[in-house]
């Protein structure tokens, strides 16, 4: 019998919500791919319960599976029993970190990226600058033959860095056009300004166009979602704490988020910081959801295109937002919205999963690309930075003609 | 064991063979988590020839094996008694051939039930047996359990839809039974294998017939004050000569659980029971039938009968019905799903007894069931770590089954016997009956190495499957509780 690690009460509680019915199995990308019970939601929950009851050890299959999970939460949407799988997974990973029960290269990559780079804007910026420089000078290609095979493959997965102009920060305040309807704050994010500055600016402009004063609190920072998902509870809590103060001080009607992963995490802030976190969570809205709820100006510019919308997991499963982005897209004259067969499934990006588990990530992506290639759209729209990068890379490599954009950028284009 | 593991690894590769304690741990149970047994190994074949080699390796090492699909079975059928090797069919999940003219499909056993209907929808066809677990359960599991579903009332169970089978016997021989055209001379061995719970060999290919998607569908929801009057309405509907595609009842506790879940469909929470009625066929006929059913339901005390407005609402009703078992997980950490059949005429009386039994034992018992077939599913939510509650659950279950048998019914309608009900088999079969069954079994599997410890009353096998022997009381209740 294995030794039970202490402090597993919350993990155990979550695991008891599962009645082992199996209805979640086919919604799980890693189960569909492997057919392995341990790689299914039900199996992972069973492993968690087994660890908490001291029947199996935390190292080995349990910790491997807690990290081989995409954290896409499709299982939550499928589960009639109301299992809070996302929380269970964070608890499980936090336990693995506490007990130091994990080994392997994935751990090193995660630790380095999530503690040393992402939470620190200056370091992140320097890292992205360096990466951009290397990409422009093609140094990366030159260095490739000298890298170990595993790194070479992973290098291919890093996004290309946009120009400095695109990476300029947002001004602290963007005034509403016309009579203001309200005041909202915008979460800039950590990775978003570095790789998707244009999306952030489009978001601010669309909000202003719709009569909102937009503030971009300077005190905000990385939301901590990736750290929470990776089991780094302390970093996650301190990042959330900073954001709670930044956004609650800003005294706004809503905190608008254009990155699904950040939105889902902020909506669960109460789990990490009861009280303040709940206050923040209450105000968080995804941009598409916010606009559709508030009523938005119908765009008049035409975009003649067949558009496939692809649901980010943390919008669909994490926040239950399915229709709003589709309503935005449909409102654009000339846009023909077409559904593809795999819209609700994960694309395999899953934070930095594509770097830590490249094989599974690529297998999951391949299914999605099959469906997209059958639908053959002009544009693929999705609202999360990780998914945007993953789909852009994937579509290019598959030779799809579609460009990949955030829905808000199309709306902004149609406002011009 | 290690010699066998090496042999298995040579067949399916290291990635396709699990044998470490924590690797096989998640395979210790199926949908009935009260019974558990640890497998010796778990292997993932990709095709028939893999299965043949696996079965031969087991034979050489004198080891038993257990075919497994998605592990949604509710009677412990996929339990690996005797440290058997689990032959997990999840990677044998291809549609091999579809013949839209003759309306059949040939598939591998690990194909998920719902994926089959999805795959043939472009031909205007569907696979009729639709267990509530259809999003997860496999065709192989369906064949082994002779699974039914809400639409069994009109379309029959799995056995009415299987035309042919390929079966690997425990000797490694491959036999083909039945034929795609639906007639095969001689013994109906397809009929024998369907419902055999994996005890005759591993099914490696299934040829099923497909149905044309109906022209039109009407879904009605009768709202009743109590479950007994809903049962009476079912009796009257059948007596009137109508043949609905489905007649399903959900009681108040079920409605509450479903409405709190992701599958909430706007069912009235204040109703004592709802009766979900589905009609299919040509539109003009549906119109008339709908009115007749409405009249019957109202006469039996329905407060109103709603009609699903569109396909969306219909799907929501069905998702609610099919998510009902899982939703019951909200009422307690564990769920015991019972399954028994009674003659339809006895339904009102038996359901009242069942509710009384649940109350008497102080249990959270809810009912969601295929009323049209007289197939009851009393579900008991509980906490296995509470030994006193577990005792009451088991005693109540025992009494419920006996009540059904006394009413002229049988101990399972569709979930099978497995390890769960083998000791109840004696309630309905004699020694002579068992003798005939055992001789049939030995004709396929002389050494009884294919899924041992199932169906027949307890032997030396699988004592660990007994929930009381597992000592759940070792495990603490919630933190802080005594
Ligand atoms: C929420 C829920 C709802 C359900 N609803 C219904 C319902 O409406 N109707 C119904 O009938 N059942 C229902 N069930 C029970 C269960 O889903 C069925 O029995 C199903 O057919 C099991 O399929 P599986 O793939 O999960 O099989 P498993 O559970 O893996 O195995 C079941 C049995 O089949 C055998 N088996 C599996 N594959 C093969 C093979 N290739 N060759 C030989 N034997 C094999 C196994 O040995 C075992 O004995 C439900 C279960 C759940 C959890
Ligand atoms: S979060 Fe996604 S990958 Fe993980 S268990 Fe749930 S469905 Fe599977
Ligand atoms: S659907 Fe929910 S209750 Fe059922 S097995 Fe999956 S997680 Fe557990």
- The pLDDT score that the predictor gives to residue B1 is 73
pLDDT tier at A147 (50, 70, 90 boundaries)?
low
Which CATH number does the domain B216-406 belong to among 1.10.287.1400, 3.40.50.2300, 3.40.462.10, 2.40.320.10?
3.40.462.10
Tell me what percent of the residues of chain B surpass a pLDDT of 90: 91
- The pLDDT score that the predictor gives to residue B474 is 40
From ligand 1's centre to the CA of A26, what distance in Å? 15
How confident is the model over A108-112, as a mean pLDDT? 66
- The pLDDT score that the predictor gives to residue A416 is 85
* CA–CA gap between residue B229 and residue B225 (Å, rounded): 7
- Ligand 1 probe mutation, B29, B32, B68, most atoms within 8 A of CB: B68
- The pLDDT score that the predictor gives to residue A136 is 65
Contact indicator for A22, B70 with CB cutoff of 8 Å: yes
* Alpha helix ranges (H) inside B323-473: 324-327, 347-360, 387-406, 431-444
From ligand 2's centre to the CA of A225, what distance in Å? 16
Between the CA of residue B84 and those of A20, B61, B450, what are the distances in Å? 22, 11, 9
Closest CA to A239 of A120, A117, A384: A120
Q: Output the six-digit token pair for B127.
A: 């696979």
* CA–CA gap between residue B401 and residue B120 (Å, rounded): 39
Query: Higher model confidence: residue A416 or residue A124?
Result: A416
Inter-chain CB proximity B137 and A22 less than 8 Å: yes
Q: Output the six-digit token pair for A21.
A: 């019915």
- pLDDT of B120-129, one tens digit each? 999 999 999 9
pLDDT tier at A104 (50, 70, 90 boundaries)?
low
Q: Output the six-digit token pair for B200.
A: 């005759």
pLDDT at position B463 over 80 = no
- pLDDT of A15-67, one tens digit each? 999 999 999 999 999 999 999 999 999 999 999 999 999 999 999 999 999 99
- pLDDT of A358-406, one tens digit each? 999 999 999 999 999 999 999 999 999 999 999 999 999 999 999 999 9
- pLDDT of A278-311, one tens digit each? 999 999 999 999 999 999 999 999 999 999 999 9
Query: Higher model confidence: residue A220 or residue B137?
Result: B137
- pLDDT of B322-371, one tens digit each? 999 999 989 999 999 999 999 999 999 999 999 999 999 999 999 999 99
Match 């050489």 to its residue by tokens.
Answer: B60
pLDDT tier at A355 (50, 70, 90 boundaries)?
confident
- Chain B (136-165) residues lying within 8 Å, Cβ to Cβ, of chain A: 136-137
Inter-chain CB proximity B136 and A26 less than 8 Å: yes
Q: Which residues pair with B85 in a beta bridge?
A: B41, B65
Q: Which residues pair with B251 in a beta bridge?
A: B273
From ligand 1's centre to the CA of B73, what distance in Å? 4
Q: Which residues line ligand 1 (CB under 6 A)?
A: A 21-23; B 30-31, 66-74, 77-78, 89, 109, 131-133, 137-138, 140-142, 144-145, 147-149, 197-198, 202-203, 325-326, 414-415, 451
DSSP string covering A250-309: T--SEEEE--HHHHHHHHTHHHHSTTHHHHHHHHEEEHHHHHHHH--PPP-S---EEEEE
- The pLDDT score that the predictor gives to residue B225 is 96
* Nearest CB to A37 within list B71, B328, B330: B71
DSSP string covering B10-70: HHH-GGGEE-SHHHHGGGS--S-TTS----SEEE---SHHHHHHHHHHHHHTT--EEEESS
Which CATH number does the domain A173-293 belong to among 3.40.50, 3.40.1520, 3.30.300, 1.10.357?
3.40.50
- Please name the helix (run of DSSP H) or strand (run of DSSP E) that holds residue A218, with its range, or none: none
Q: Which three-class secondary structure state does DSSP give residue B174?
A: strand
Phi, psi of B413, deg, nearest 5: -100, -35
- The pLDDT score that the predictor gives to residue B310 is 94
- Chain A (36-55) residues lying within 8 Å, Cβ to Cβ, of chain B: 36-38, 43, 46-47, 50, 53, 55
Sign of CA dihedral B125, B129, B135, B140: negative
pLDDT tier at B477 (50, 70, 90 boundaries)?
very low
Does A299-415 match A173-293 at the fold level?
A: yes
- pLDDT of B285-316, one tens digit each? 999 999 999 999 999 999 999 999 999 999 99
pLDDT at position B478 over 60 = no
Contact indicator for B245, B156 with CB cutoff of 8 Å: no
Neighbours of B359 (CB within 10 A): 11
Phi, psi of B246, deg, nearest 5: -155, 145
A17: which chain B residues are within 8 Å (Cβ-Cβ)? 329-330, 333
How confident is the model over A141-147, as a mean pLDDT? 57
Query: Residues of CATH 3.30.465.10 domain(s) within chain B?
Result: 95-212
Directed axis angle between helix A260-267 and helix A385-398, to 10°?
150
Going by DSSP bridges, is the β-strand pair A305-309/A379-381 parallel, antiparallel, or unpaired? parallel
Any chain B CB within 8 A of the CB of A143? no
Sequence spans of domains, chain A? 9-98, 105-155, 173-293, 299-415
Inter-chain CB proximity A19 and B25 less than 8 Å: no
- Please name the helix (run of DSSP H) or strand (run of DSSP E) that holds residue B209, with its range, or none: strand B202-209
* CA–CA gap between residue A159 and residue B458 (Å, rounded): 61
Contact indicator for B114, B95 with CB cutoff of 8 Å: no
Inter-chain CB proximity B22 and A17 less than 8 Å: no
How many whole angstroms from its chain centre is CA B47? 25
Inter-chain CB proximity A50 and B260 less than 8 Å: no
- The pLDDT score that the predictor gives to residue B58 is 98
Q: Output the six-digit token pair for A308.
A: 């496939």
* CA–CA gap between residue A236 and residue A219 (Å, rounded): 16
Prediction ipTM score: 0.93
Going by DSSP bridges, is the β-strand pair B273-281/B246-251 parallel, antiparallel, or unpaired? antiparallel
- The pLDDT score that the predictor gives to residue B468 is 54
Closest CA to B418 of B112, B37, B87: B37
Q: Which residues line ligand 2 (CB under 6 A)?
A: A 27-30, 41, 44, 69-75, 85
- Shortest Cα distance, chain B CAs vs residue A298, angstroms: 27
pLDDT at position B419 over 80 = yes
- CATH, domain range A9-98: 1.10.1060.10
A20: which chain B residues are within 8 Å (Cβ-Cβ)? 29, 31, 33
Q: What CATH fold (topology level) applies to the domain A299-415?
A: Rossmann fold (3.40.50)
Degrees to nearest 5, angle at CA B424 with B421 and B429: 120
B325: which chain A residues are within 8 Å (Cβ-Cβ)? 19, 21, 80
pLDDT at position B461 over 60 = no
Edge to edge, what strands does the sheet with A254-257 contain? A173-174, A212-215, A182-186, A254-257, A284-286
The whole-chain average pLDDT of chain B stands at: 93
- Please name the helix (run of DSSP H) or strand (run of DSSP E) that holds residue A379, with its range, or none: strand A379-381
Query: Residues of CATH 3.30.43.10 domain(s) within chain B?
Result: 2-88
Any chain B CB within 8 A of the CB of A10? no
Going by DSSP bridges, is the β-strand pair B340-341/B216-224 parallel, antiparallel, or unpaired? unpaired
* CA–CA gap between residue B233 and residue B293 (Å, rounded): 9
- The pLDDT score that the predictor gives to residue A10 is 87
Ligand nearest to the CA of A79: 3
* CA–CA gap between residue A198 and residue A167 (Å, rounded): 8
* Alpha helix ranges (H) inside B86-243: 113-120, 139-145, 152-155, 189-193, 227-239
Any chain B CB within 8 A of the CB of A215? no
- pLDDT of A162-216, one tens digit each? 777 777 788 889 999 999 999 999 998 887 877 888 899 999 999 999 999 999 9
pLDDT at position A153 over 70 = no
How many whole angstroms from its chain centre is CA B85? 22
Match 């069942």 to its residue by tokens.
Answer: B354
* Alpha helix ranges (H) inside A210-259: 225-229, 233-249
Residues 6+ apart with CB under 8 A from A399: none
- Please name the helix (run of DSSP H) or strand (run of DSSP E) that holds residue A384, with its range, or none: none
Contact indicator for B132, B325 with CB cutoff of 8 Å: yes
- The pLDDT score that the predictor gives to residue A110 is 67
The whole-chain average pLDDT of chain A stands at: 88
Residues 6+ apart with CB under 8 A from A37: A31, A43, A46, B26, B27, B71, B88
Sign of CA dihedral A46, A51, A57, A58: positive
Residues 6+ apart with CB under 8 A from A298: A331
Query: How is domain B95-212 classified at the architecture level of CATH?
Result: 2-Layer Sandwich (3.30)
R_g (Cα) of chain A, nearest Å: 21
Query: How is domain B2-88 classified at the architecture level of CATH?
Result: 2-Layer Sandwich (3.30)
Any chain A CB within 8 A of the CB of B130? no
- pLDDT of B173-187, one tens digit each? 999 999 999 888 999
* CA–CA gap between residue A59 and residue A104 (Å, rounded): 12
- Please name the helix (run of DSSP H) or strand (run of DSSP E) that holds residue A375, with its range, or none: helix A358-375
- pLDDT of B103-160, one tens digit each? 999 999 999 999 999 999 999 999 999 999 999 999 999 999 999 999 999 999 999 9
- Chain A (50-79) residues lying within 8 Å, Cβ to Cβ, of chain B: 50, 53, 55-57, 60-62, 76-79
How many whole angstroms from its chain centre is CA A253? 24
Directed axis angle between helix B283-299 and helix B227-239, to 10°?
130
* CA–CA gap between residue B174 and residue B450 (Å, rounded): 14
How many whole angstroms from its chain centre is CA B449? 23
């Amino acid at each position: 019998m294995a030794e039970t690690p202490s402090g597993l009460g919350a993990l155990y509680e979550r695991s008891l919500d599962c009645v082992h019915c199996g209805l979640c199995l086919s919604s799980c990308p890693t189960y569909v791919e492997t057919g392995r019970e341990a790689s299914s939601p039900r199996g992972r929950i069973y492993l968690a319960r087994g660890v908490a009851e001291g029947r199996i050890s935390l190292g080995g299959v349990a910790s491997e599976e807690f990290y081989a999970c995409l954290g896409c939460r499709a299982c939550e949407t499928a589960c009639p029993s109301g299992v809070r799988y996302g929380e269970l997974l964070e608890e499980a990973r936090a336990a693995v970190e506490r007990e130091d029960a994990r080994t392997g290269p994935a751990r090193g990559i995660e630790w380095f990226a999530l503690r040393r780079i992402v939470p620190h804007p200056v370091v992140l910026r320097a890292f992205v600058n360096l990466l951009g420089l290397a990409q422009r000078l093609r140094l990366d290609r030159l260095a490739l033959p000298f890298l170990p095979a595993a790194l070479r493959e992973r290098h291919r997965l890093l996004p290309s860095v946009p120009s400095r102009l695109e990476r300029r920060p947002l001004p602290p305040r963007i005034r509403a056009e016309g009579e203001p309807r309200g005041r909202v704050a915008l979460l800039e994010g950590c990775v978003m300004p570095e790789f998707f500055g244009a999306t952030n600016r489009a978001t601010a402009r669309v909000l202003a166009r719709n009569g909102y004063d937009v503030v971009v609190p300077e005190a905000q920072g990385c939301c901590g979602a990736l750290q929470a998902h990776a089991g780094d509870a302390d970093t996650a809590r301190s990042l959330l704490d900073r954001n709670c103060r930044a956004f609650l001080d800003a005294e706004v009607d809503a905190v608008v988020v254009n990155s699904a992963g950040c939105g889902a995490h902020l909506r669960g802030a109460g789990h990490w910081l009861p009280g303040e976190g709940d206050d923040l969570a209450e105000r968080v809205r995804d941009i598409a959801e916010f606009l559709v709820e508030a009523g938005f100006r119908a765009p008049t510019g035409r975009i003649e295109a067949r558009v496939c919308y692809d649901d980010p997991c943390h919008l669909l499963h994490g926040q239950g937002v399915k229709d709003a982005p589709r309503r935005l897209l449909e409102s654009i004259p000339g846009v023909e919205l077409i559904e593809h067969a795999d819209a609700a499934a994960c694309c395999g990006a899953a934070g930095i999963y594509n770097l830590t588990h490249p094989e599974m990530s690529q297998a999951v992506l391949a299914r999605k690309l099959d469906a997209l290639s059958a639908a053959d759209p002009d544009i693929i729209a999705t609202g999360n930075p990780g998914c945007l990068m993953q789909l852009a890379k994937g579509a290019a490599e598959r030779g799809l003609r579609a460009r990949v954009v955030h829905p808000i950028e199309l709306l902004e284009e149609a406002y011009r | 064991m290690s010699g066998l593991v090496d042999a298995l690894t040579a067949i399916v590769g290291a990635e396709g063979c699990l044998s470490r304690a924590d690797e096989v741990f998640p395979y210790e149970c199926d949908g009935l988590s009260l019974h558990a047994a640890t497998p010796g190994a778990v292997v993932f074949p990709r095709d028939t020839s893999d299965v043949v080699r696996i079965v031969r390796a087991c034979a050489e090492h004198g080891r038993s094996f257990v075919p497994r699909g998605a592990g949604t079975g509710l009677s412990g059928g996929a339990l690996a008694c005797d440290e058997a090797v689990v032959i997990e069919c999840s990677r044998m999940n291809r549609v091999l051939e579809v013949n839209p003219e003759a309306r059949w499909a040939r598939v591998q056993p690990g194909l998920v039930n719902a994926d089959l209907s999805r795959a043939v929808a472009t031909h205007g066809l569907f696979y009729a047996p639709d267990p509530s677990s259809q999003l997860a359960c496999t065709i192989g599991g369906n064949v082994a359990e002779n699974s039914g579903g809400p639409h069994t009332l009109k379309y029959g169970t799995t056995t009415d839809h299987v035309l042919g089978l390929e079966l690997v016997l425990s000797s490694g021989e491959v036999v083909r039974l039945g034929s795609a055209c639906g007639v095969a001379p001689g013994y109906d061995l397809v009929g024998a294998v369907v419902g055999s719970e994996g005890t005759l060999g591993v099914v490696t290919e299934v040829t099923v017939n497909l149905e044309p998607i109906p022209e039109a569908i009407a879904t009605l929801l009768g709202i009743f004050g109590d479950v007994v009057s809903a049962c009476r309405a079912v009796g009257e509907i059948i007596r009137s000569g109508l043949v609905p595609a489905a007649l399903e009842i959900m009681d108040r506790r079920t409605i509450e659980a479903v409405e709190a879940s992701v599958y909430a469909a706007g069912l009235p929470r204040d109703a004592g029971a709802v009766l979900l009625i589905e009609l299919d066929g040509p539109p003009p006929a549906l119109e008339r039938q709908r009115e007749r059913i409405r009249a019957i339901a109202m006469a039996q005390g329905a407060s109103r009968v709603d009609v699903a407005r569109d396909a969306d609402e219909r799907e929501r009703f069905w998702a609610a019905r099919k998510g009902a078992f899982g939703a019951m997980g909200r009422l307690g950490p564990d769920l015991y799903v019972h399954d028994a059949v009674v003659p339809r005429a006895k339904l009102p009386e038996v359901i009242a007894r069942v509710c009384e039994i649940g109350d008497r034992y102080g249990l959270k018992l809810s009912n969601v069931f295929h009323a049209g077939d007289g197939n009851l599913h009393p579900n008991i939510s509980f906490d296995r770590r509470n030994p006193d509650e577990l005792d009451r659950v088991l005693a109540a279950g025992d009494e419920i089954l006996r009540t059904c048998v006394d009413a002229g019914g049988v101990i399972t309608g569709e979930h099978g016997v497995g390890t769960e009900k083998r000791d109840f088999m004696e309630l309905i079969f004699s020694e002579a009956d068992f003798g005939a069954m055992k001789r049939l079994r030995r004709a396929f599997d002389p050494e009884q190495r294919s899924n041992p410890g199932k169906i027949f009353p307890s032997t030396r096998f699988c004592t660990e499957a007994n929930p009381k022997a597992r000592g759940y009381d070792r495990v603490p209740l919630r933190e802080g509780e005594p």
